Amino acid sequence: MGGSRASGATPPERVTARGNAEARAGLAEVRAGLQGYADRGVFRGLAERPARGGRLQFSFGWLAPDPFTLLYDPAAGTLTFRDLLPNVGSRTPLAAALRKFIQGRTSPALPPHRRIDPRRAGVRCSIRRGALTVEVLAKPSQHGYGVNRAVNLVNELFVHLQTYHPEYMWENFDAPQE
């Protein structure tokens, strides 16, 4: 009733209830997309909770021993895997290779099922305090596409690391050395 919340966060239900229909539809698409992965057994233990600024935080078990966290901002259409990869120095050959790989996912040379179509979503990555963050920016009415591309991007990133940088996977994710 007009008062501010101590945490500074607005409950996502209130944001989406008074937000535009597009944000509500985007949120429904993201929830359905992630639930679809959980229903098929790709994710384990999918959970959702409010985060700051009207965002939602989804956590789930997947490719690594620790749970993944995906932050979704319905208003901006961003799907962010914050601190996805630990121990990545910003000026290392590994960082350069990861940036090139991630940006390469928008290349028209890739088949459509593996490509991030720049007309529908963008992708960026950053390294802060030695951890790589990956963000997919879904265009309006493309949030379902964005969640699919974000999940596929992370999966392809882990396959790429296992293939071309196995020592990184051994050291940071206890991947088998086979």
Q: Does residue 3 sit within a domain?
A: no
Provide the domain count of the chain. Answer: 1
Q: Does residue 49 sit within a domain?
A: yes
What is the residue range of 127's domain? 14-173
CA distance 50 to 33: 18
Q: Does residue 7 sit within a domain?
A: no
Q: Does residue 9 sit within a domain?
A: no
For the stretch 37-91, pLDDT in tens is 999 999 999 999 998 998 999 999 999 989 999 999 999 999 999 999 999 999 9
Q: How confident is the model at residue 134 (pLDDT cuts 50, 70, 90)?
A: very high
Residue that the structure tokens 């910003």 belong to:
90
Q: Does residue 1 sit within a domain?
A: no
Q: Does residue 19 sit within a domain?
A: yes
CA dist 21 → 9, 14, 96, 140 (Å) = 21, 13, 39, 11
